Every structure is written in C-alpha cells, then in structure tokens.
Structure 1
Amino acid sequence: MKARIWGARGSLPVALTHKQIRAKLVTALEGAIGRNLDSTDKVVDYVDNHLGFEVSGTYGGNSSCVEVEAWDTDTIHEHIVLDLGSGARPLAGSKLAKYGPGKPQTYHVFMSHLHWDHIMGFPFFTPAYIPGNRIIIYGCHKDLETAFRRQQEPISFPVGFQQLGATIEFVQLTPGVPQQVRDVTVTAKLQLHAGDSYGYRLEQGGKTLIYSTDSEHKLDNAAERVAFVDFFRDADLVIFDAMYSLADSISVKADWGHSSNVVGVELCQLAGVHKLCLFHHEPIYDDAQISRVLAETRRYAEITGEAPLEIVSAYDGMEIAL
C-alpha cells in the first residue's frame, strides 16, 4: 500500500507569492556563493543535498486529497481516493490522465466530511466526465449526495451534475462497520468537527493506514483519547490534522475543529504508530514555518517517546510506501 498526497493544505488552497519565491531564490543564491557551481551535476547536488526543503521545494497549496495505491492499477482498474479537495485536479491531470475514454475505471472515494475545501476539486476531476467510468463516493453524512450536486448548480458552476458522463454512486457508511474494497478493509470513525467528520482506517495484507483530518481532540476527554489510540493502534502510517500549535488549539482556536502536532505525537506514541504525517497545513503558514513545525515536532517526539516515531510533513506530490 502506498499513499500519495495530492493536496496537503487545510481550509482553502494557497499559492506561493512573488515575494516568497524571490526570498527562496535569494537564499539559494546566497548559499551558492563560493561553491564553484560550474556544472549541472554540482548544481543538482547543491539543490538536492545542501538546501533545506523549505528553500528547494514547497509543501504546496492544494486542499485535501490523498490517493491510496493498494494494487497495480494498470492491471486492476480500481482506485482509492480520500477526499476531493483541489488536489483532485492534479491527481486527475497527471496520474489518471492515461485512463481516458475506452479505458473504464472505478474510483472509490472516501469523504471525511463535506466542507467545501474537501469537495471543491470534484467539478475538475476529469474521470467524472468520462462515460464508462464508475465513481463510488462513500461517506457517513446523510447529505453526501446533496453536497456534491449543490456545488454544481448553475449559481456556483457552469457544468451541472447531470452532465457528468461517469456513473456516480453514493454509499452511506456506518461508523465502526467495515467496508470492503477488494482486499482493502475500510472502517470509519466519528471525529469532533463542525458538522462532524470521519477518520478512516485502511487495512490490507497486514499494513494499516489511518487518515484522520479535520478532527479536534479535547485534552480533558479521556474516553475519546482512548478511543483514538485504539483506532490508531499499530498503524504503519497516520495522516493527521496538525493545523495548529497546541497553544492555539486549546485557546484562541478551541472548538475550530482541528488538532495540533503535539497531540498527533502523543496519540501515535500511545498507539505504537510507526510513521506520523503532519497534514492539513494552516494556509497562512509559508514553507519556512511548516519546516519549523516539523523540526519542533521531531524534537518533541525524541524527548517524550520511548519507541522511535518517524515524522514527516505532507507536501503535494509526496509518496509514502507502507
């Protein structure tokens, strides 16, 4: 099983500004002074091995969308997608474009919730326009179908839902009741968020992936803490909403429906998780700020953990093999 991050931002998409790109260029060129970068190989080595990711790359700006590759999709024409934020557009454009008309595919889409940043990519999800495709949208919300149809009404979008060429189906899930997708078992869990959200536990061949975004964790709720530790138990990878600092999540942004890097570490340590992926980045954070959060999170885990916990920060285009 492999996770591909196509959208890692929270709340709304963002883009690098002229000022931010200029700052990266200045930092990179300053660091190049005296390095005698007179060949392509030297330049590539400098960019890849001497610049921090916050300078040489970017965490990206698309809102939540994660592809789960559970089998060879060139042989088995079925795909698993978690949420359809704006990251669904590059997923369709770069990864799924080869499956055009005449190559029918089935897409299993599991929705954490129905807020706009998690469904806004659907009108630009090319597979939905291709006859012969089958798109099955799973979720625990009773208004699942309504949300998707409403955002394509004429006042909001020029292409109506009824004009989509693919067969679109909606499946209502019950939290705690497993849903089978070939040999992948998917189980939903209710999370604390305005209007409710649901995390997903995906299990296949002894590997476990947790997708838990848009979830607030109250530190004084012991029962909820135990429930999430059980949900995360022994996972190979937890993709976790770490939008806020702990201080913000329990003060000025309490009840906003999101969590922190510190809570993510503590839950994963208690659950025996192997790898934690910080996700749903605050849209006002630039690449340098996200890198600082990652470094601080790793230090915190080293100080507090008895067993090693690998920690990464999600970026658009990231691949994580389990």
Structure 2
Amino acid sequence: MLVRFWGTRGSLPVARPALAVQGKIARALVAASGRKFNDELEAHAWARNNLPFHTYGSYGGASSCVEIEGADGAFIVCDMGSGLREFGLDAARRCADGHPRVYHFFMSHLHWDHIMGFPFFGPAFDPGAEIVVHAGHPDAEQALRRQQEEISFPVPFDWLRARFTFITHQPGETFQAAGLTVSMIGQHHSHESYGYRFERDGRAVIYSTDSEHKLDNMESEKAFEHFFRDADLVICDTMYSLGDTVSLKQDWGHSSNVVAIDLCHAARAKRLALFHHEPTYSDRDIQHMHAESIRYEELVRADRPPLEVICAYDGLEVRV
C-alpha cells in the first residue's frame, strides 16, 4: 500500500505569512555563506542535504486528507479537508491516463475542517465518476448538502454530476471496500469520530484522527491498543503536547504525541505518523515536536521493538 498525505493540519488550513517565508530565505542564505550554484537543481540538492526541513521545506497548511492506494484500482481517501482539492486535481490527471473513476471516502467525522475541501473537489462534477462515502454518521449526506446551501456556497449539491452512494457503518464492523478489509472504531470527539483500520496482503494502516485519549478511561485505551495491534503505519492525532491535553485543552477532542507513542508501543505498531498539526504551530515548532517525539520513544522503548516516528506533511508519501 502507498499512503499519500494531501492535508495534515487540524482545525483550519493555514498559509505561511510573508515574514515566515522571508525568514526561511534569510536563514538559507546565511547557511549557504556565499556558495555559488550552477543551477536550481544543484541548489536544491545542497539545501536538501544541509538545511533543516523547517527551513528547506514545509509541513504544509491544508487540513486533513489522506489517500491510500487500494487493490482494485479505486481511489481510497480519508476525510475531505482542504487537501482534497489538490488530490482531486492529481486524480483527474491519473484518470486521464486510464485510472478508474471510482472514489471511496472514509469520514472520521463531519466537522468543517474535515469536509471543507468537498465543494472544490473537481471529480464530483464528472458524470462518469462514482463516489462512495463511508461513515459512522447517518447524517453524512446531510452535512455535505448543508455545506453547499446557497447561504454558504454558490454551487448546490444537486448540481454535482457524479453518482453518489452513502453507506453508514457501525463501530466494530468489518467490511470490504476497494479491495481492502476495513474495520472501524468509535473515538472520543464532539459529534462522534471514527478511526479506520485498512488491511491487505498482511499489511495494516490505521487512520485515527480527532480522538481524545483519556487517562481515566483505560478500558477505552485497551480497545485502541487492540485496534492498533501490529499495524505497519498508524496515522494518529497528535495535535497537542501532553501538558496541553491534560490542562488547557482537556475535552477539546484531540491527543498528544506522547499518548500516541505509548499506544503504538503497547500495540507493537511499527511506524507512527504524527498528524493533525496544530494550526498555530510554525514549521520550526512542528519539527521540534517531532524531535522530542523521537527522543521520548527512545527513552520509553524498554524491551519493545523500535517504533519509527515520522512527521506527516503535505506531499509526503509512505510505502507500507
């Protein structure tokens, strides 16, 4: 399976202000220290090998949208955040080369940051496209239609030309979709949220965002430990620091890097992707959190197998 991250921010999309971009350029120039490059390719190579990611690159600003390649050629997409627009453009290019125009969406929940990309999803206007929306919410269709009412958006839902099917699943249910075996778990978040486990050929990917893990509900944590069991990749909500989740932002529906690492260790998962980044965090802040997460994993690993901790960014591809 190949996992592509099209949007990794939480709550709302963000763009780096001019001063932040200027700061990156200034730091790069200082680090280059008068070096001369023959062309842009040479400059890119030097920057990639010598600059920290928060200077050379960016974690991006689009809200949640993750693609997982399936077995039967259909598109598999988790959530419809603002990253969905870029995915739709890329999918249209692939369909022009013969890719099936079938899209399976798996919704964690229906809050705006997770559906706001849908009005700009080009394939929804394609009469030859088939769109299947999987959710734990029976009101998923209502949420998408309401977002496109005239008071909010100029294009009504009924103007879309794709063929739509909405399927409601129950927590604990296991079903087949796009060549994958899929199971679903309920999560602690406003208006409910659901995590998904995707399996094929002995490999497993977990998509679990907008889930608050509470220290006083260990029975629930045991359920997540089982759900994450032996996963090859866990994409997990790590929006806040542990201090924030137990003090200022308790009951806000999100979790921390520390809790995610502890759960993945207990489940003996192989790789964790930090996800749903706090929109107020700069690229430097996110990279610092990533470094702290790697250090924490090393300190608490004990006799468990190593857990690789990566940090998701818009454009990242991970092969499982």
Task: Provide TM-score, normalisation by structure 2.
Answer: 0.96
What is the alpha-carbon distance in structure 2 between the residues aligned to residue 89 and residue 42 of structure 1?
31
Q: SS of the residue aligned with 1:80?
A: strand
What is the alpha-carbon distance in structure 1 between the residues aligned to residue 36 and residue 238 of structure 2?
38
Q: Match for residue 225 of structure 1? A: 221
Q: Match for residue 287 of structure 2? A: 291
What is the alpha-carbon distance in structure 1 between the residues aligned to residue 259 and residue 281 of structure 2?
19
Q: SS of the residue aligned with 1:44?
A: helix
Q: Match for residue 235 of structure 2? A: 239
Task: Provide TM-score, normalisation by structure 1.
Answer: 0.95
Q: Match for residue 254 of structure 1? A: 250
Aligned residue pairs total 317
* 1:151 Cα offset (Å): 0.4
Residue identity in the other structure for 1:15: A
What is the alpha-carbon distance in structure 1 between the residues aligned to residue 318 and residue 98 of structure 2?
31
What is the alpha-carbon distance in structure 1 between the residues aligned to residue 29 and residue 159 of structure 2?
50
Q: Match for residue 131 of structure 1? A: 127
Alignment of 1:58-69 (within 5 A): 58-69=58-69
Alignment of 1:170-319 (within 5 A): 170-306=166-302, 307-319=305-317
Q: Match for residue 321 of structure 1? A: 319
* 1:154 Cα offset (Å): 0.7
User: Contact (CA 8 Å) 2:70, 2:178: kept in 1 or not?
Assistant: no
User: Contact (CA 8 Å) 2:73, 2:178: kept in 1 or not?
Assistant: no
What is the alpha-carbon distance in structure 2 between the residues aligned to residue 105 and residue 16 of structure 1?
34
What is the alpha-carbon distance in structure 2 between the residues aligned to residue 191 and residue 134 of structure 1?
28
Deviation per residue, 1:265-316 (Å, 9 max, x gap): 0000000010000000000001000000000000000010132110111100
* 1:219 Cα offset (Å): 1.1
What is the alpha-carbon distance in structure 1 between the residues aligned to residue 12 and residue 213 of structure 2?
22
User: Contact (CA 8 Å) 2:101, 2:130: kept in 1 or not?
Assistant: yes
Q: 1:98 to 1:207 in 2, by over 3 A?
A: closer
What is the alpha-carbon distance in structure 2 between the residues aligned to residue 206 and residue 103 of structure 1?
25
User: Contact (CA 8 Å) 1:104, 1:132: kept in 2 or not?
Assistant: no
Deviation per residue, 1:143-184 (Å, 9 max, x gap): 111001100111111111000010111001111111201430
* 1:141 Cα offset (Å): 0.8
User: Contact (CA 8 Å) 1:10, 1:117: kept in 2 or not?
Assistant: yes
What is the alpha-carbon distance in structure 1 between the residues aligned to residue 96 and residue 113 of structure 2?
26
Alignment of 1:57-136 (within 5 A): 57-71=57-71, 76-99=72-95, 105-136=101-132
User: Contact (CA 8 Å) 2:68, 2:76: kept in 1 or not?
Assistant: yes
Q: Which runs of 5+ in 2 are unaligned?
A: none
Q: Match for residue 19 of structure 1? A: 19
* 1:126 Cα offset (Å): 0.7
What is the alpha-carbon distance in structure 2 between the residues aligned to residue 151 and residue 310 of structure 1?
38
Does 2:150 align with 1:154? yes
Give me the CA root mean square deviation: 1.5
Residue identity in the other structure for 1:309: L
User: Contact (CA 8 Å) 1:12, 1:283: kept in 2 or not?
Assistant: yes
Q: Which runs of 5+ in 1 are unaligned?
A: none
Match of 2:164 among 168, 171, 188: 168
What is the alpha-carbon distance in structure 2 between the residues aligned to residue 42 and residue 174 of structure 1?
53
What is the alpha-carbon distance in structure 2 between the residues aligned to residue 12 and residue 302 of structure 1?
32
Q: SS of the residue aligned with 1:97?
A: helix
Q: SS of the residue aligned with 2:89?
A: helix
Does 2:37 align with 1:38? yes
User: Contact (CA 8 Å) 2:127, 2:163: kept in 1 or not?
Assistant: yes
